[in-house]
Amino acid sequence: MAESRNLFIRSERKDARIGKPFVTISYEVGAYGVVVVENLCEFLQKRDNRKENAWKVFDKDLVKKVIEEYNLPKSIVPYFSESTVSEIEDIVESAVGLYPSRYTLVYEMNQTILRLAKSGSVIIVGRGANIVTAKISKGAHIRLVGSLDNRILYIKQHLKISEKEAIKFIIKENRRRSNYFKKYFDRNINDPLLYDLVINTDRLSIQDIVREIGSLIIKRETFATTGILEK
């Protein structure tokens, strides 16, 4: 895997100044991530003068895209879960031919994320996309956070479950994402230095959040294209 990782780094550096605007979004469970992403996609589409470029969201569809690009069987979908397994379990299962190693699948996922980012006009959710695309220009990397109380309330209403179930769901999902981030990128998902904007969704409306992110993307594109940073 070390060789693949080196190739991946070289690919990032070679293409550091090409591409079109794109966004990566990471969010704490219950921090209005799905709602923000949907509204942001609509906002960007309305303000993109290049009408031939329709903005697209890659969240759950990201796995489908990887499977299509690498001609993988649909039965492999569960193995793309962000849930991590032990090194021994991974080696044993891949050795007996149950599926390619998790590192192979993550590498293929990363390459697909890179291609999508370079094509532009995409919002990529999760999967350490901010790390994968960090050296590609015109990208905006966002982290959405919120108080536990508000996130519990959102999950209760969204999933129609009890408070106890919501708490368990939040803890489990946040741990799963954090472990994936740590294992495959050796980073702390909560490190604010990994993002351009960390937004507290308790303190802003969805509309204000979308406008803040949209403004950053417009400025980032202008700077990458002209070298002039708008104030």
Residue-wise pLDDT for 149-180, tens only, equals 999 999 999 999 999 999 999 999 999 899 88
Q: How large is the average pLDDT for residues 180-207?
A: 93
pLDDT digits (tens, 9 = 90+) for 21-30: 899 999 999 9
CATH topology of domain 140-206: Rossmann fold (3.40.50)
Q: What angle do CA 49, 52, 57 make, to 5 degrees?
A: 90
* CATH 3.40.50.300 domain extents, the chain: 140-206
Strands (E), the chain: 22-27, 56-58, 122-125, 139-145, 197-200
Which one, of 61, 199, 194, 82, lies nearest residue 139 by Cα?
194
Q: How large is the average pLDDT for residues 53-77?
A: 82
